Structure 1
Amino acid sequence: MMNLTEKSAENVEYMVDQIKEKLRMLNFGAIKSTHFNEDMYEELKDIYEHVMKKQSFSPNEMQAIAEELGNLRKA
Structure 2
Amino acid sequence: MDLSKKSAENVAYMVEKIKEKLKVLNFDAIKPSHFSEEWYDELKDIYEMVMRKNTFSPSEMQAIAEELGNLRKK
Fold-level similarity (TM above 0.5): yes
**Structure 2 stretches lacking a partner, 5+ long:** none
User: SS at the partner of 1:29?
Assistant: helix
Q: Which residue of 2 aligns with 1:68?
A: 67
Output the TM-score relative to the length of structure 2: 0.94
User: Which position in structure 1 is the counterpart of 2:45?
Assistant: 46
Say how many residue pairs are matched.
Answer: 74
Query: TM-score, with normalisation over the residues of structure 1?
Result: 0.93
Structure 1 residue 29 displacement after superposition: 2.7
Moved over 4 A (4+): none
Runs of 5+ unmatched residues, structure 1: none
Within 1, Cα distance between the matches of 2:51 and 2:31? 18
> Would you tell me which structure has more helix in proportion to its own residues?
2
For the aligned residue pairs, the C-alpha RMSD in angstroms reads 1.1
